[in-house]
Structure formats: structure tokens, C-alpha cells
Amino acid sequence: MAGYNQGIPGGSVGRAVTLAMPELHPTPVEGCEICGEQAVLRTAAFKRGDHSAVSDANARIRNHQHHRNTR
Ligand SMILES: [Zn+2]
């Protein structure tokens, strides 16, 4: 019968459960001032519950890809 779906391997794949951060947060590159600064801002923003500032800092770190090109 259609809808009888046995093709799913393993059923539910465990999602990465983040206990603190609501979304994936990129790791700042050590030695990069911009990334480090955003990481500090992100931590401060998270502590005061400013989620928009957290995702803002995350986006800046994520978009800061100069280190991939230079190293
Ligand atoms: Zn950087």
C-alpha cells in the first residue's frame, strides 16, 4: 500500500540538542579580532537574553570567512 514506508533507516536520527544556544553557533577563529569580538558580544548578548543580538553575532562570525582563505 502506498504510505507504508519502511525505507527510513534508523527512524529518527538524533538531532543535536543545544542546551543553551537555540541555534548552531559557529566557532570564532582564534587570533581573529573580528571573530573574537563577535564571540564576546554573542556571549554577553546571550546572557542578557538578547537573542537577536546573538544571531547577529553568529551571522557575522559565520560570514567571516577570510581565515579560510588565508590559512
Ligand atoms: Zn574572522
pLDDT at 65: 74
pLDDT at 23: 54
pLDDT at 64: 87
* DSSP character at residue 22: S
The alpha carbon of 25 and the centre of ligand 1 are apart by a number of angstroms equal to 14
User: In this structure, which residues have their CB less than 5 angstroms from ion ligand 1?
Assistant: 29, 32, 34-35, 64
The alpha carbon of 65 and the centre of ligand 1 are apart by a number of angstroms equal to 6
The alpha carbon of 64 and the centre of ligand 1 are apart by a number of angstroms equal to 5
pLDDT at 26: 84
The alpha carbon of 3 and the centre of ligand 1 are apart by a number of angstroms equal to 48
- How far is Cα 30 from Cα 8, in angstroms, rounded to an integer? 40
- How far is Cα 47 from Cα 62, in angstroms, rounded to an integer? 20
Q: What is the mean pLDDT of each run of 10 residues along the chain (71 residues)?
A: 57 50 70 92 96 93 72 48
pLDDT at 60: 92
Residues whose CB is less than 8 angstroms from the CB of residue 57 and which lie 6 or more positions away in sequence, other chains included: 38, 39, 41, 42, 45
